[in-house]
Amino acid sequence: MTSPIRTERHDDVLVVISDNPPVNALGQAVRAGLKDAIGEALANDSIKAVVIRCDGQTFFAGADITEFGKPPVGPNLPEALDAMEASDKPVVAAIHGTALGGGCEVALACHYRVAVPSAKMGLPEVKLGLIPGAAGTQRLPRLVGAEAALPMVVGGNPISAKKAKEIGLLDKIVGEGSLESDAIAFARSKIGQPVPRASEGTANEDGVRDPDLFDRFRASQARQIRGFDAPNAAIEAVKAAGQLPYADGVKKERELFMKLMTGTQSAAMRHYFFAERAANKIDDVPRDTPLIPIRKVGVIGAGTMGGGISMNFLSAGIPVTILEMAQDALERGTGTMRRNYENTAKRGRMTTEQVENAMSLLTSTLSYDDLADCDLVIEAVYENMDVKKQVFAKLDEVVKQGAILASNTSYLDVDEIATATKRPGYVLGMHFFSPANVMKLLEVVRGKETRHDVLATVMKLAKTIGKVAAVSGVCPGFIGNRMLSKRQEQANALIMEGANYWDVDDVLLEFGFPMGPFQMGDLAGIDIGWHRDPTKVTTIREALCAAGRFGQKNGKGFYDYDEARNRTPSDEVKAIIADFATKEGKEQREISKDEIRERLLYPMVNEGAKILEEGMAQRSSDIDVVWINGYGWPLYTGGPMHWAETIGLDTVVAGLEKYGLPVSDYLKSRAEGGGKF
Ligand code: 3H9
């Protein structure tokens, strides 16, 4: 097999080039090739300097994740990098694309780093439940200081070349089109000078002078890192870089790295990494299916949903025409969109110029005729089949042939909606989650007649607008809401049997969800769908509405809220629930948190199994993608299906049986047939 690493001589400079598509991951052959190339440079007196660069779309994007969990084959990355840094001939990293993880560590082991302006650098290992394992946590703080290193190592988000230059991670930004020649010239300018080694840097002393830095940083990240093991290990490792000699720091990093690597969180997060990428692929749709160009999008409905949906496209530079029934609704909707953008700008996440650019791509209208030339129209009117069918019939009349018509319905039958048109092949569901400009998930609902090119186009478009997409078949509630309804059923049953409703919420919080079902009800508004007749009260929710408890918006729902939106359980609500339970003759008993957790989550897994059995999801990992991105299922458990496999499908089956809950044949068969979906 030919090596992915080749070398080229440019007089006294050896250029080492990696060509390992798609992302130049640092697999065994790359590591071996790098080590050999450095050996070649050191052994040859006529070579005075080395440049390392990559072919293809990016500099090394990290270790090869597919090798994780398999027996290691040498040389390992730290070995290859130590050999590189030990060289007394200058070694220069020439960076384009994304130097991530092990790739960033390669750059750190080089004596100098130059990059094109569009390059990014980062240590995203925490996103895989890990920390850098090739001395990144030890070299980076020594080079840029603990304060600058912490957000990179703990947050895992890449930084721009400009920022990297500012903090001292890059030595020079070179021409976008002249990386290699500029890097060679740079390397040549360093020949004969003593080489600076990141492992010998002293910038980490900022953390020694100000040891509280680490606790302050941890506190500032408390919400984002709750429940995750890796960020705390990352803080510990960066702190060690200031407390220990380099070799001991590296040892500490390795210990922390190995512990994480063999733990369940990293396994779950690596599962998710591949799950997200797999979800974008549709088994029976060829990867080279020609796409329909989407140059202009129409959105029907300027309410919260329609506005949020539109913002996704505007932010991605795609013009949107938004339609409403009345001028005041239209103005209210577009006004809210502008305010949302301006708030984002206030928080420093957008420039005012970007706000204006986005808003300049928006056209508002009261006339369907203005949607005629759209390539995609997404309907976000309220959930009523007759109304949806009227909208689709009208769209079919006015919108050009070949355009895609999508519904944002969260549970209605997309196939039935499609019958209102003469182009059912161009109809599908695009189920966004609220707030639609923020939530990552897009459930793409594939109708029985949806064409391949329509599906492929929407999957690609999802990526363009920064969404994570998963395909669902047509079934009530699709993947996400269908499983949610099983959890809600149990939540309602549990409080009727004597469980405290705040315990139900707390169990899910402790599991890692951002909130529980009753908090969620309060946030969304308990009065959604409330018929406003206090004499007709048949459910707990209706009783709360009749008592004027509408949720967070009026300071009381299931909970009482103070000014800062802190919740306290309400005596009034306890009495309402007790009253219902008595009326229904439900015996009250103490219910343990274990029972609450199992009864909330196991039925979801069972429903997921049924979804798989019916072919409504292509693969179990798609279900994980839906739940992690749309419903706050904790990433570090890998999603409901991966979590169920981790705790054992037989455990789930036994739990369901213990509580007398239904167990699908498919779940049983998977539990008996190896414990995997
Ligand atoms: C690490 O480095 C640990 C070290 O500190 C310790 C060492 C001791 N390995 O995302 P895309 C595949 S941990 C293997 O769709 P994009 C990916 O699965 C690593 N495969 O492209 C996909 O395959 P397929 C730290 C990888 O352009 C294809 O490449 N690094 C890896 O949207 C295209 O990927 C990271 O966490 C990998 N490292 O985005 C970076 N990376 O086509 C992870 C990608 O079969 N990678 N693949 O589905 C990324 O963030 C993005 O892939 C990147 C490109 C931004 C690079």
Q: What is the SS3 assignment for 335-347?
A: HHHHHHHHHHHHC
Which residues of the chain form CATH 3.90.226.10?
A: 5-262
Which residues of the chain form CATH 3.40.50.720?
A: 297-474
> Residue 657: what pLDDT?
98
Q: Within 13 Å, how many C-alpha atoms sit on residue 426's CB side?
A: 21
Pairing of strands 91-95, 98-100: unpaired
CB 636 within 8 A of CB 273: no
- For residue 450, give both structure tokens: 């949806």
ipTM: 0.98
Residue to mutate, 23, 121, 153, ligand 1, most ligand atoms under 8 Å from C-beta: 23
Q: From the CA of 540, how far away is ligand 1's center (Å)?
A: 48
CB 540 within 8 A of CB 576: yes
> Residue 531: what pLDDT?
84
Which residues of the chain form CATH 1.10.1040.50?
A: 500-584
- For residue 226, give both structure tokens: 């709750």
Tell me which residue has its CA closest to atom 48 in ligand 1. Answer: 277
Name the fold adopted by 500-584: N-(1-d-carboxylethyl)-l-norvaline Dehydrogenase; domain 2 (1.10.1040)
Which atom of ligand 1 lies nearest, measured to the CA of 273? 18
Query: Is there a cis peptide before residue 517, judged by omega within 30 degrees of 0?
Result: no
For the cut 80, the answer to whether the pLDDT of residue 1 exceeds it is no
Class of domain 5-262: alpha beta
Give the distance, in angstroms, between the CA of residue 429 and the centroid of all CA atoms in the same chain. Answer: 21
430-463 per-position pLDDT tens digit: 999 999 999 999 999 999 999 999 999 999 999 9
Q: From the CA of 639, how far away is ligand 1's center (Å)?
A: 20
pLDDT band for 535, please (50, 70, 90 cuts). confident
Statement: 297-474 belongs to CATH 3.90.550.10:
no
pLDDT band for 519, please (50, 70, 90 cuts). very high
Tell me which residue has its CA closest to atom 46 in ligand 1. Answer: 61
pLDDT band for 166, please (50, 70, 90 cuts). very high
Give the distance, in angstroms, between the CA of residue 287 and the centroid of all CA atoms in the same chain. Answer: 23
> Residue 529: what pLDDT?
79
- Residue 236, Cβ neighbours under 10 Å: how many? 17
> Residue 674: what pLDDT?
87
Q: What share of the chain is helix, strand, coil (3-state, %, to 5)?
A: 50, 10, 35
Ligand 1 pocket, residues with Cβ under 6 angstroms: 22-23, 25, 58, 61-66, 77, 98, 100-102, 105, 124-125, 128, 132-134, 136, 277
650-671 per-position pLDDT tens digit: 999 999 999 999 999 999 999 9
Backbone φ and ψ of 300, nearest 5°: -105, 120
pLDDT band for 226, please (50, 70, 90 cuts). very high
CB 143 within 8 A of CB 168: yes
- Residue 170, Cβ neighbours under 10 Å: how many? 25
Dihedral of alpha carbons 513, 518, 519, 525, sign: positive
- For residue 652, give both structure tokens: 């789930």
Which ranges in 497-639 belong to alpha helices (H)?
501-511, 517-524, 540-546, 571-583, 593-613, 620-630
pLDDT band for 342, please (50, 70, 90 cuts). very high
> Residue 615: what pLDDT?
97
Q: From the CA of 63, how far away is ligand 1's center (Å)?
A: 8
pLDDT band for 464, please (50, 70, 90 cuts). very high
Give catalytic residue positions: 105, 125
For the cut 80, the answer to whether the pLDDT of residue 331 exceeds it is yes
104-160 per-position pLDDT tens digit: 999 999 999 999 999 999 999 999 999 999 999 999 999 999 999 999 999 999 999
Query: Which residue has 């690596």 as its token pair?
Result: 270
For the cut 90, the answer to whether the pLDDT of residue 51 exceeds it is yes
> Residue 534: what pLDDT?
82
